[in-house]
Amino acid sequence: MNKQQVENRILYLDILRVLAIFAVITIHVTAMDIIKVKDIGSFEWWVSNIFNSISRWGVPVFFMMSGVLLLNPKNNESTSDFLKKRIGKIGIPLIVWSIIYSIAKHYFIEMDKPEIITYPKILLTDIIFDRAYYHLWFIYVIITIYLITPFLRKIIKHSNIKEIRYLLILWFISTIGSYTYHSIYTCILHERSSYIRILDIPLVGGFIGYFVLGYYLNKIEITKKIRGIIYFIAGLSFILIPILIYSTSIGKTKLNEQFYNHFMITTFFITIGVFVFFRYKNFDNIIPVNMKKLIVSMSNATFGIYLVHMLVLGNIVNDIIPKEINTIIKVIARVILTYIISYLIVMLGRLNKYLKKYLFP
């Protein structure tokens, strides 16, 4: 990649993409330790809980970055061209990696070892119902977002900022507000909350909101005062999540993961805080060209890293890092080593055009 190509990149998005995959890896590195409810309150559990809590912005930011890049009204490609380009690029690797993870799960991890004659049916079920491996859910969701992106583009193109803001307010009420209400209600009264029909607003549910929010926050100008308020609320949310997880899980037989959720209001504010912080940092003037090239290379490898990192973590890194070392060092070492090995696998794999197409796009 030459200097001009690097300069044409939106650098803050490349940096965010690299940090977001680190956040996702951190969630997966710490996941097995935080679910051990018998260890709640121990130093090891608190370390994993805190690392996991401060990383929950990673997935929503991926959707927001996609919104920045794909909802630009200046994009004039047809619906068919868009779908061929996007769905083909991630659909084929999804199928290939689903096969890889399904085989690994059944024959090497869970060791249920189904008979060869029955396995094709199991594999088909794994792929159709997203059961191959738990981290692949993200690919299924992003495909559904891609399917409606051509229509969202038309909405964005013919809407002004106030109308887009109105759409986001509806999403916030029906998704962030609704999930937060139900979670708090359940935690306080220890019973399921009643269904509120008025909050079930069509067309604005799920990750669509983060997708549009990314475009919106990249489009508008936010004053320094408002940014300061956003950072304060985000910082407070960073502190609240691990405390809320602890206070609602202590003494229980199962970890309460509601406050980790992507649609919890604390995660929402953290996500906005992180996104806005990096959007308003002038990286172009402080990062040298060679460092930019490395960042772009790491950014381009993100999807491949996401696909392969669970195999690397479970079958290589966990066996290399001693379990006896300090918990903080152990978490950081596992995250960094998982990233480095995954990155090297992706870069080496991309040297072959077939591996690049089918495994590491």
Are 312 and 341 in contact, with CB atoms under 8 Å apart? yes
Which of 7-11, 100-104, 181-185, 203-207 ranks highest by mean pLDDT? Answer: 100-104
Residue 250 belongs to domain spanning = 3-358
Judged against a pLDDT cut of 90, whether residue 279 lies above it is answered with: yes
- Residue-level pLDDT at 33: 87
User: What's the pTM value of the predicted model, to 2 decimals?
Assistant: 0.95
Give the chain's domain count.
Answer: 1
Average pLDDT, the chain: 93
Judged against a pLDDT cut of 70, whether residue 20 lies above it is answered with: yes
Are 34 and 49 in contact, with CB atoms under 8 Å apart? yes
Q: How confident is the model at residue 90 (pLDDT cuts 50, 70, 90)?
A: very high
Q: How confident is the model at residue 1 (pLDDT cuts 50, 70, 90)?
A: low
- Residue-level pLDDT at 38: 76
Q: How confident is the model at residue 359 (pLDDT cuts 50, 70, 90)?
A: very high
The proportion of the chain whose per-residue pLDDT surpasses 70, expressed as a percent, equals: 97
